[in-house]
Amino acid sequence: MTSLAGRGALITGSDGGIGFAIAERLAAEGCNVVLNGPTESASTAALPDRITALGVKCAYVRADVGSVAEVERLFAAAVATVGSVDVLVNNAVVRHFHPIDEFPVAEWDRALAVNVSAVFHSIRLAVPGMKRRNWGRIVNLASIYSTRGAERRVDYVTAKHAIVGITRTAALELARTGITCNAVQPGWVLTPHAERQIADRMKTAGETREDAIDALLESRQPSGRLVTPEEVAACVAFLSSAAGAAITGTTLAVDGGWSAAP
């Protein structure tokens, strides 16, 4: 995937989990990388060194992408750091869990700001530069829940459905520009969020870790195992490469067969 050597990549929500795995993979393919998260700490300060060890430039930019002004500041910092945003990965996400009739309005508004509006604004800011260079890759992180509903998750399900709509619309508008826009649809991935689900199951059901994972996977992924962040990252890297030039407006599932199940 030598087409990525020297390109600049911005990955929102990349202070851990899937986002950081994507950053590592793109860096391994030669991308200079801008990491992002909503907070700063000793742990986030150490992240760029893990990326620069791969021989590329990297910076971490604290920005709350739920704010338009913060998204704009993030983009300015990204361009200043790596020269251009050639690969944009929209990964930042927040989650809340409430029934619709009890859903706090502030949490609904926050979810739409981070999970939907930030994707729009990121694409809006990235596209002009990509058009000038006649090259760009936009990858939006969707979810298995972009294809179905789930109780107590109306904000997340709504947002992930919207991601697919944004992806298709952007792909059509950019189809003759050298810019692609796709979505990646992970299933259940071994992330800190998944670890919390496993721990909750172990506590409430008194199960071992292995039994808790098996029980949680039983109704989800026919593969019988969790997807790894690195597997999602490999899909993003492929879509970002020269090999993905003819793929646009699609959603690729990385879900162990979950989306194939009834």
Over residues 1-5, the mean pLDDT reads: 75
> Tell me, what's the pLDDT at 1?
46
Judge whether residue 200 has pLDDT over 80. Answer: yes
Judge whether residue 92 has pLDDT over 70. Answer: yes
Over residues 187-214, the mean pLDDT reads: 94
Judge whether residue 148 has pLDDT over 70. Answer: yes
Judge whether residue 63 has pLDDT over 90. Answer: yes
- Tell me what the pLDDT averaged over the chain comes to: 96
> Tell me, what's the pLDDT at 238?
98
Judge whether residue 248 has pLDDT over 90. Answer: yes
Q: How far apart are CA 261 and CA 113, in angstroms?
A: 31
Q: How do strand 58-62 and strand 136-141 relate by DSSP bridges?
A: unpaired
Q: Which residues are catalytic?
A: 156
> Tell me, what's the pLDDT at 64?
98
**Per-domain residue ranges of the chain:** 2-187+228-253, 190-226
Work out the percent of the chain whose per-residue pLDDT is above 90: 95
Judge whether residue 96 has pLDDT over 90. Answer: yes
The domain 2-187+228-253 is placed in CATH, from the list 1.10.3080.10, 3.40.50.1000, 3.40.640.10, 3.40.50.720, at: 3.40.50.720
> Tell me, what's the pLDDT at 219?
81
Give the predicted TM-score (pTM) of the model.
Answer: 0.96
Reported as a pLDDT band with limits 50, 70 and 90, residue 262 is: confident
> Tell me, what's the pLDDT at 193?
85
> Tell me, what's the pLDDT at 3?
80
Q: How far apart are CA 171 and CA 185, in angstroms?
A: 16
Judge whether residue 2 has pLDDT over 60. Answer: no
- Pair of tokens at residue 13: 């929500």
